[in-house]
Amino acid sequence: MTDLPERPAPRSTSEIASFHAHIYYDPAATRLEAEQLRTWIDERFSVTLGRWHDAKVGPHDQAMFQVAFAADVFPVLVPWLMLNHGRLSILVHPNTTNPRRDHLADAVWIGPPLAVHGAKLPEQAAMEPAPPPNTAMTLAQPATRKERRFPQLTLDQLDENQKPLGEQIMKVSSIGIAGPYNPMLRSPVLGQRLFDLFHYLRWETSVPIRLNEFAILIIGRQWRSQVEWYAHAPLAAKAGLSPEIISELKAGKQPSGMAEDEAVVYEFVTELTTTKKVSDETFARARKVFSDQQIVDLTAVAGNYVMVAMMLAMAEETVPAGKEPPFKDGEK
């Protein structure tokens, strides 16, 4: 036996608070691949997806986004990245208390290595545990110990009857196949017909989108539907519904400062769902601002989102993990 040079005791993996995978891409050539990979990760792993950096940032020599994850995710995520990184380079590094060493000396590369500008990294930093996961896959983890009524499906689990619908959903949904789609996929023929109805009610309806989203929020508020409000409040704001109207509605008040068409939607939908009829006065008011087709479409969108709220309530679906539920327990 030759004498080994004297070395300190080996480092313990307890030094590792979490991991990062930095996924590099060329904004001009491989961004679509990066988007695809990101979507796949979102659907499959409980990790924290960082922002897109289309320009170089920090020590990184190419556009990238970061994936932060806990140590127990490493054995499932990293081998999967090895097989699925395509043309992208990925730097996987531990987070200890020495970012420069973590990135330069102790990292592994998947795909061709790139430059890392270590001078921009400190040699001393606080331990950085993995932040709360923010992926669609995280929905598969129950918020409490209680078993989910319908465990979150993943795309890989869909059978031949479900897959065509799952693929259509993925093209338009901000929450993947979670929310109402998770129970709907259990009944794929019904699910497909509902999806087609949603398609009409979201993109082909005769009701202007601002008013259509307002009607959906009115139902979401009545049902205190976490998922409906979470998904549709940003859509309503984007469509031009004022933040004051949205926040007053959320607080359970009749919004002040509504335009005439908004006031008609509010009265019409609220009256129909709470009194089970529409008075002659309200109907006449609706006739002044809406066509017959719009009145029919408005009624259909409100009724549809009652059905969606029922589906969500029955399945106990909630907002993605790490996201704040819009309605707090105990509030009416």
Binding site for Zn ion (CB under 5 A): 20
What is the maximum alpha-carbon separation in the chain? 100
Distances (CA, A) of 266 to 210, 221, 274: 12, 12, 12
Cβ atoms of 173 and 181 within 8 Å: the answer is yes
- Neighbour-count burial for 255-290, b at 16+ CB within 10 Å, e otherwise: beebeebbebbbbbbbbbeeeeebeeebeebbeebb
Q: Which value, in Å, is the radius of gyration of the alpha carbons in the chain?
A: 25
Tell which residue, 247, 244, 224, has the closest CA to residue 332: 224
- Smallest gap from Cβ 23 to Zn ion, in A, equals 11
**Alpha-carbon torsion (120, 124, 125, 130), positive or negative:** positive
Q: Specify the residue, 20 or 250, whose C-beta has the smaller distance to Zn ion.
A: 20
Task: Collect all residues with Cβ–Cβ distance below 8 Å to 223 and sequence separation of at least 6.
Answer: 306, 309, 310, 313
What distance in Å separates the CA atoms of residue 62 and residue 57, rounded to the nearest whole number?
Answer: 8
Give phi and psi for 265, each to the nearest 5: -60, -45
User: How does strand 48-53 pair with strand 64-69?
Assistant: antiparallel
